[in-house]
Amino acid sequence: MYVVGSSGRLGRAITAQYPAETVELVPREKSGHWCAETGPEDVELFFRNRATHSDTIFVAAGLIDPALPGHDLRKVNLSLPMNIVRGTDALGSRVVTFGTVMENDGFPRNPYIESKIALRNYLELRPDPRLLHIQLHTLYGVGAPSPFMFLGQLLEAIRDNEEFEMSSGLQLREFHHVTDEAHAVQLMVQAGLSGTHLLSHGNPAILVEIATSIFSKFGRPEKLKPGAKYDQDSENYSVHFHRHPEVSAVLFRETFRAIEEYLRECLCD
**Beta carbons of 106 and 169 less than 8 angstroms apart:** no
- Domain that residue 84 falls in: 1-136
Question: Does the residue 32 lie in any domain?
Answer: yes
- Percentages helix, strand, coil for the chain (3-state, rounded to 5) are 45, 15, 40
Q: What is the pLDDT of residue 52?
A: 84
Question: Does the residue 239 lie in any domain?
Answer: no
CA distances 14 to 23, 55, 95, 186, Å, are 10, 15, 14, 8
Question: Does the residue 211 lie in any domain?
Answer: no
Question: Does the residue 16 lie in any domain?
Answer: yes
Bridge partners of 177, per DSSP, are 140
Ramachandran area for residue 24 (φ above 0: left; ψ -120 to 50: alpha; else beta): beta
**Rounded to an integer, what distance in angstroms lies between the CA atom of residue 212 and that of residue 221?**
7
Question: Does the residue 267 lie in any domain?
Answer: no
Question: Does the residue 210 lie in any domain?
Answer: no
**Beta carbons of 178 and 8 less than 8 angstroms apart:** no
**Rounded to an integer, what distance in angstroms lies between the CA atom of residue 210 and that of residue 183?**
24
**Rounded to an integer, what distance in angstroms lies between the CA atom of residue 77 and that of residue 141?**
22
Question: Does the residue 266 lie in any domain?
Answer: no
**Rounded to an integer, what distance in angstroms lies between the CA atom of residue 169 and that of residue 41?**
47
Domain containing residue 51: CATH number: 3.40.50.720
If you write DSSP's letter for every residue of 138-178 in order, what string do you get?
Answer: EEE-SSPPPTTSHHHHHHHHHHHT--EE-S----EE-EEEH
Domain count, the chain: 1
Question: Does the residue 10 lie in any domain?
Answer: yes
Upper half-sphere CA count for residue 106 (Cβ side, 13 Å) = 11
Q: What is the pLDDT of residue 196?
A: 96
Q: How far is CA 139 from the centre of its chain?
A: 6
- The one-digit pLDDT tens for each residue of the chain (269 residues) are 999 999 999 999 999 999 999 999 999 988 989 999 999 999 999 999 888 888 999 999 999 999 999 999 999 999 999 999 999 999 999 999 999 999 988 888 899 999 999 999 999 998 899 999 999 999 999 889 999 999 999 999 999 999 999 999 999 999 999 999 999 999 999 999 999 999 999 999 999 999 999 999 999 999 999 999 888 778 888 889 999 999 999 999 999 999 999 999 999 87
**Beta carbons of 186 and 246 less than 8 angstroms apart:** no
- Containing 58, the helix (H) or strand (E) segment is strand 56-59
| Phi, psi dihedral angles at 34 (to 5 degrees) | -80, -5
Taking the alpha carbons at both ends of the chain, their separation in whole angstroms is: 32
**Beta carbons of 188 and 136 less than 8 angstroms apart:** no
- DSSP state for residue 8 in the 8-state scheme: S
